[in-house]
């Protein structure tokens, strides 16, 4: 039986509104009908959404000018262990990846344990190497099968003999003691600001380059993913305090200094070789994503699976949207760990096929290249071989449709700002100081956008120029607390040019140095002024009073709210000065226990719970509460409806791609060289927000509508997973077709004339 959160999260939706909880049961009974629920939705959802035309198609690509890495479509890795040189069948290993049609494989060098007879001091030979050139044999086997090779290094850990000779290489705690690996205390953590990175890593790279035909070099375990290092060695103790804006800038400078140094070494032998580093962390990436996007030619998204039991299933597509925001069409691959990722890990055991396959599905849907990974043992392919068929079959399927999976640009009319500095540095309000705070905010908005089937991109906070923002009807600022004066001005310019805006909570209350402002940096644009410090929850959270019952029929953001004077507020809010004619006002929070005292001492205030503005074609909505995060924590349907209503209002209910049907799906659409591709990911599953998918719950018909650019015709619409064409209708440039069934994933590949 589904619990309340599962009901709220997996209940079937249309593109228009939230269906009642009972609809969730129908998702798991395909024979059931949702006619009654759909009729109820139609009664409150308002007029049908309007389609806006897609932009003119991009000019054709000159394939001869495309760098080799951007032609890679499948990446494989069997992560080698110290024991593999004694037992691994290299030919069998190479045959597997070749049969899976992998274009490139990662082979370990590594830096912690040498897999070749290295002469670099402190590059310890594995105890089973016995002078063998294991790495070289693997490289030769891959090259014989026309697969390219990545030299995989790990500069993050080393052994006691290196520490004894170079104590300055170690990360240290505040008391001066050495930081050792939590799982293997014989290994110490190396400091990225030390000469270890300047001398030791380059020595390995040059040695490998002199001995082998390398296509590129990669460092695993560095830079940190999703956080900043906290070291107190002699060098780091002179740097700004960790987790401050000043430290982040120093960290960034060091990352990109080393990146460019390693890239130059990679090119010493082959000009088309390059270096890339371990990345990921999605919106909370360690290095500055704007700088990274300008420098990196390969984005290594090391998001191998759901890390925590409460992680949502869409973590991989979230990463894909981040890559799309910063790479300008350059290469990105996401690692799918075939092994058992999670709070409890079995590094050498396969995860369920449904979970691994969905992660691969999301990789493609998110515009990235699938990359499949397992940890070798015994023969190099593992004691648990169940992962092999999943990856090989999937890779072979993608090889049949490479053109449709090679994306050119996303199709969306909403931009969600990535506040990377806020994600990394903002501590949250005093009532909820934790690293998870902004993660919950991001997940809440992401969930709401999926539930409403809105087409959206991520936009980096350092890429708010008019040219990039011009494609969007609306920009969303989910508690983007840290914004510089320049960024605030760019957002003003977007609205002045006709764009709409939705913002929440402490957006713009801090500058780029995390210095608090006396008032919002966007106060003039949002039409608000701060009236006090953040108010949290003690018992009952605050409520939002509907000021006039007639307002439910007058303003679209209140559509569907009947028989109530109150709506739920958020867990935390910023008090605001009064505004004229507020639609919703704050009923301050009060105790929930004892029930005798559970009533509002102050039942009515003039403090706004939402502020709405219209200037020409621009519509602006500001919520003083952390509404997205509170929705994620509670799954409250009123908060979801309020967010959906507001999103429709600020966008004038315009859709650039409209997908209608039963179920909880994520829809992503791309322009491709053949035409367009609409990806439908079926998340209608009791494990969408918890643990792993065990199986898929198929969905019925999904109707897709989109308005093509003038003069663009359609040759065919093919369903790539079903392996069949579907009929379509094109009239006045509006294309419509129906996907009859979605198992876990379907891709509608549109070939244009």
> What's the pLDDT tens digit per position in 409-459?
999 999 999 999 999 999 888 666 667 899 999 999 999 999 999 999 999
Average pLDDT over residues 494-500: 98
Is 667 inside any structural domain?
no
Q: Kindly state whether residue 443 falls inside one of the protein's structural domains.
A: yes
Residue 197 placed within a domain: no
The token duo for 516 is 């608090």
Residue range of the domain that includes 623: 412-655
> Mean pLDDT across the stretch 696-711?
97
Q: How confident is the model at residue 289 (pLDDT cuts 50, 70, 90)?
A: very high
User: What are the tens digits of pLDDT across the range 360-409?
Assistant: 999 999 999 999 998 865 555 668 889 999 999 999 999 999 999 999 99
- In this predicted structure, what is the pLDDT of residue 343? 82
Q: What does the pLDDT look like over 198-221, one tens digit per residue? A: 999 999 999 999 999 999 999 999
Mean pLDDT throughout 582-603? 94
Q: Give 600-640 pLDDT, tens digit per residue.
A: 999 899 999 999 999 999 999 999 999 999 999 999 999 99
Examine residue 580 and state whether it is found in any structural domain, yes or no. yes
Q: pLDDT at position 549, please? A: 63
In a domain, 278, yes or no: no
8-state DSSP, 19: P
442 domain-assigned: yes
CATH code of the domain in which 636 resides? 3.40.50.880
Residue 660 falls within a domain, yes or no?
no
Stretch 481-491: mean pLDDT: 98
47 inside domain: no
User: Do 511 and 521 meet the contact criterion of CB atoms below 8 Å apart?
Assistant: yes
How many structural domains does the chain have? 1
Give the 3-state secondary structure percentages of the chain, helix then strand then coil, rounded to 5. 30, 25, 45
Using CA atoms, how far apart are residues 616 and 624, in angstroms rounded to an integer? 24
Q: What is the mean pLDDT of the chain?
A: 91
Alpha-helical segments (H) within 88-194: 90-99, 134-144, 160-165
Distance, in Å, from the CA atom of 619 to the CA atom of 621, rounded to the nearest integer, reads: 7
User: With pLDDT > 90 as the criterion, what percentage of the chain qualifies?
Assistant: 84
Q: How confident is the model at residue 554 (pLDDT cuts 50, 70, 90)?
A: confident
pLDDT of 34 > 50? The answer is no
Q: What DSSP string runs through 427-475?
A: ---TTS-STHHHHHHHHHHHHHHHHTT--EEEEETT---HHHHTT-SEE
Instruction: Give the torsion sign (CA, 69, 75, 80, 86).
Output: negative
Is the pLDDT score of 234 beyond 80? yes
């Amino acid at each position: 039986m589904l619990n309340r959160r599962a009901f709220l999260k997996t209940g079937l939706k249309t593109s228009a509104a939230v269906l009642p909880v009972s609809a969730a049961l129908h998702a798991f009974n395909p024979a059931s009908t949702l006619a009654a629920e759909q009729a109820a939705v139609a009664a409150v959802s308002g007029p049908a959404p309007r389609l806006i035309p897609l932009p003119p198609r991009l000019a054709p690509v000159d394939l001869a000018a495309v760098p080799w890495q951007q032609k890679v479509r499948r990446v494989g890795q069997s992560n080698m262990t110290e024991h593999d040189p004694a037992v691994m069948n290299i030919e069998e290993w190479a045959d597997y990846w070749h049969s899976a049609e992998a274009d490139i494989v990662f082979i370990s060098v590594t830096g912690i344990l040498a897999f070749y007879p290295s002469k670099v001091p402190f590059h310890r030979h594995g105890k089973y190497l016995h002078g063998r050139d294991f790495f070289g044999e693997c490289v030769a086997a891959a090259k014989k099968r026309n697969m390219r090779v990545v030299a995989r290094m790990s500069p993050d850990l080393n052994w006691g003999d290196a520490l004894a000779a170079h104590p300055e290489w170690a990360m240290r705690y505040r008391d001066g003691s050495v930081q050792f690996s939590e799982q293997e205390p014989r290994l110490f953590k190396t400091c990225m600001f030390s000469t270890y990175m300047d001398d030791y890593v380059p020595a390995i790279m040059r040695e490998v380059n002199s001995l082998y035909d390398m296509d590129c070099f990669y460092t695993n375990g560095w830079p940190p993913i999703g956080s900043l290092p906290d070291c107190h060695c002699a060098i780091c103790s002179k740097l700004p305090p960790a987790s401050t804006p000043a430290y982040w800038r120093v960290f960034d400078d060091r990352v990109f200094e080393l990146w460019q140094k390693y890239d130059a070494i990679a090119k010493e032998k082959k000009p088309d070789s390059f270096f890339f580093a371990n990345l990921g962390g999605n919106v909370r990436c360690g290095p500055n994503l704007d700088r990274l996007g300008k420098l990196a030619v390969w984005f290594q998204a090391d998001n191998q699976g759901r890390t925590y039991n409460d992680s949502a299933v869409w973590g991989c597509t979230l990463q894909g949207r981040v890559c799309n925001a910063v790479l300008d069409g350059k290469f990105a691959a996401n690692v799918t760990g075939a092994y058992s990722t999670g709070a409890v890990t079995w590094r050498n055991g396969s995860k369920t096929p449904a979970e691994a396959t969905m992660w691969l599905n999301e990789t493609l849907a998110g515009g990235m290249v699938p990359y499949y990974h397992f940890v070798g043992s015994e023969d190099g392919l593992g004691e648990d071989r169940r992962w092999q068929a999943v990856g090989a079959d999937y890779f072979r399927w993608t090889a049949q449709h490479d053109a449709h999976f090679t994306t050119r640009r996303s199709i969306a009319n909403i931009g969600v700002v990535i506040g990377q500095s806020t994600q990394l540095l903002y501590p949250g309000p005093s009532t909820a100081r934790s690293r998870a705070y902004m993660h919950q905010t991001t997940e809440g908005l992401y969930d709401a956008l999926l539930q409403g089937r809105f087409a959206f991109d991520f936009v980096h906070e350092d890429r708010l120029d008019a040219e990039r923002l011009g494609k969007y009807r609306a920009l969303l600022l989910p508690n983007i607390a840290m914004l510089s004066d320049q960024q605030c001005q760019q957002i003003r310019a977007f609205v002045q040019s006709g764009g709409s805006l939705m913002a929440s909570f402490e957006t713009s209350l801090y500058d780029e140095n995390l210095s608090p402002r006396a008032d919002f940096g966007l106060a003039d644009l949002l039409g608000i002024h701060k009236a006090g410090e953040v108010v949290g929850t003690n018992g009952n959270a605050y409520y939002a009073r509907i000021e006039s019952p007639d307002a439910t029929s007058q303003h679209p953001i209140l559509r569907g709210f009947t028989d109530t004077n109150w709506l739920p507020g958020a867990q935390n809010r910023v008090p605001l000065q009064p505004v004229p004619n507020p639609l919703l006002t704050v009923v301050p929070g009060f105790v929930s226990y004892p029930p005798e005292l559970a009533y509002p001492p102050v039942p009515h205030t003039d403090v706004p719970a939402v502020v709405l503005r219209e200037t020409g074609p621009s519509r602006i909505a500001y919520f003083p509460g952390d509404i997205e995060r509170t929705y994620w924590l509670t799954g409250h349907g009123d908060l979801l409806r309020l967010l959906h209503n507001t999103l429709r209002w600020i966008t004038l209910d315009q859709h650039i791609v409209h997908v209608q049907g039963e179920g909880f799906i994520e829809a992503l659409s791309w322009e491709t060289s053949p035409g367009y591709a609409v990806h439908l990911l079926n998340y209608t599953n009791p494990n969408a927000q918890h643990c792993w998918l065990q199986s898929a719950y198929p969905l019925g018909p999904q109707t897709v509508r989109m308005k093509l650019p003038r003069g663009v015709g359609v040759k065919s619409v093919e369903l790539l997973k079903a392996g069949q064409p579907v009929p379509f209708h094109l009239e006045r440039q509006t294309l419509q077709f129906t996907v009859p069934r979605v198992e876990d994933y379907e891709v509608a590949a549109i070939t244009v004339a």
